[in-house]
Amino acid sequence: MSLKILAVDDSRTIRDMLKLALAQAGFAPEVAEDGVHGLEVLEEMAQDGTPPDAIITDINMPRMDGFGFIDAVRAKSAHSAVPILVLSTESAAELKARARASGATGWIVKPFDPVKLVKAINMVAGKGAA
């Protein structure tokens, strides 16, 4: 069974690329457009009995940014342990501290690289049976 990944990013381009890269790597991707939408999709996935095995989120987003989103996910007991990767253009030293403070599991710095992404997911979510 392939890992289910929820990817949250306000850029359609990045969402498309995430979807493509994740699907090509054998994951089952779902995407959302911002933090608020991300929480909605997360709930839908949970209700369908297919909660994500890992979440990838951008930081700069309208309505609810990445930090707010991570806080909200961690606040739900059902998802308090789901690995969350931050995908951001922010420089790492500063990002690491902020991401970690908000409960992120790991981080990937843009530019977006599929190899790096898949590796990072395997690192935090383990390898699916795929």
Partner 1 sequence: MPETDPMAEIRASFFIECEELLESLQDGLTAMDDGDTDSETINVCFRAVHSIKGGAGAFGLEELVRFAHRFETVMDEIRNGRLDPTRDTIALFFRGADILYDIVRASRDGETLDTTTTEAVLGDLEALVGGVIEEEVEEEIDFAPMTLSLDPLGDDDGESSDAADDSPPGFAISFHPNAELFASGNEPRHLLAALQDLGEMTTTCDLSKLPALENLHPEEGAIGWHIELTTPAREEEVAEVFEFVDGLCELTIKARGNAAPGLPDLDSIVIPGTADDGDGPTPDPAPATAEDDEPDPEPEPVSAAPQPTPPKPAPTAGAGKDSKQAAAGPKATVRVDLDRIERLVNLVGELVINQAMLSQSVVEAGIPANSTVSSGLEEFLQLTRDIQESVMMIRAQPVKSLFQRMSRIVRESSSMVGKSVRFVTDGEATEIDKTVIERLADPLTHMVRNAVDHGLETTEGRLKAGKPSEGVVTLTAAHKSGRVVLEIKDDGGGINREVVRAKAEEKGLIPPGVPMQDQEIDNLLFLPGFSTAKEVSDLSGRGVGMDVVRSSIQALGGRVTITSEPGVGTTFSISLPLTLAVLDGMVVEAGGEILVVPLGSISETLTLQAADMEQLGAGTKLVRIREEFVPILDMAVQLGFRPALESYEGSSVLLITMEDNTRSALVVDRIVEQRQVVIKGLQESYGRIPGIAAATILGNGRIALILDPADLIASAGSSRSLQTFDLAG
In the complex, the residues that contact partner 1 under the rule CB under 8 A are: 10-14, 16-17, 19-20, 23-24, 30-34, 37, 41, 44, 58, 60-63, 81-84, 89, 91-93, 95-96, 100, 103-107, 109-116, 119-120, 122-127
User: Given the complex with partner 1, which of 2 and 122 has the nearer CB atom?
Assistant: 122
Closest distance to partner 1 from the beta carbon of 69 (Å): 14
Taking the C-alpha atoms of residue 80 and residue 119, their distance in angstroms, rounded to an integer, is: 22
Closest distance to partner 1 from the beta carbon of 67 (Å): 14
Which residues have CB under 8 Å from 33's CB, separation 6+? 8, 9, 10, 15, 61
Closest distance to partner 1 from the beta carbon of 96 (Å): 8
Question: Contact 40/75 with Cβ under 8 angstroms?
Answer: no
Question: Contact 30/6 with Cβ under 8 angstroms?
Answer: yes
User: Given the complex with partner 1, which of 34 and 67 has the nearer CB atom?
Assistant: 34
